[in-house]
Amino acid sequence: MARRRWFARLARTLVLTGLLVAAASVLPIVACRWLPVPVTSFMLLDRGTDQPRQHAWIPWDRISPHAALAVIAAEDQRFPQHAGFDFEAIDQALTAAGRGRRLRGASTISQQLAKNLFLWPGRSWPRKSLEIWFTAWLELLWPKQRILEVYLNVVEFGPGIWGVEAASRHYFGRSAARLSREQAALLAAVLPNPKRYSVAAPSAWIRERQRWILGQMQALGGPAYLERLQRARLDASQRRAVSSGSSLRRA
pLDDT of 239: 41
Strand residue runs (E) in the chain: 54-55, 156-158, 161-162
Half-sphere exposure (CA, 13 Å, Cβ side) for 93?
14
Hey, CA dihedral for 77, 80, 81, 86, is it positive or negative? positive
pLDDT means over runs of 10, the chain (251 residues): 64 58 71 92 83 92 97 94 81 61 71 94 86 93 95 96 98 97 98 94 96 97 84 44 49 52
The pTM of this model reads 0.83
Query: If one looks up domain 48-231 in CATH, what number appears?
Result: 1.10.3810.10
Hey, CA dihedral for 199, 202, 207, 212, is it positive or negative? negative
Q: Where are the domains of the chain?
A: 48-231
Q: Which residues pair with 55 in a beta bridge?
A: 162
Amino acid occupying residue 112: Q
Q: pLDDT tens digit string along 168-226?
A: 999 999 999 999 999 999 999 999 899 999 999 999 999 999 999 999 999 999 888 88
pLDDT of 241: 41
pLDDT of 31: 85
For residues 87 and 92, give the distance between their C-alpha atoms in angstroms, rounded to a whole number: 9
Amino acid occupying residue 104: R
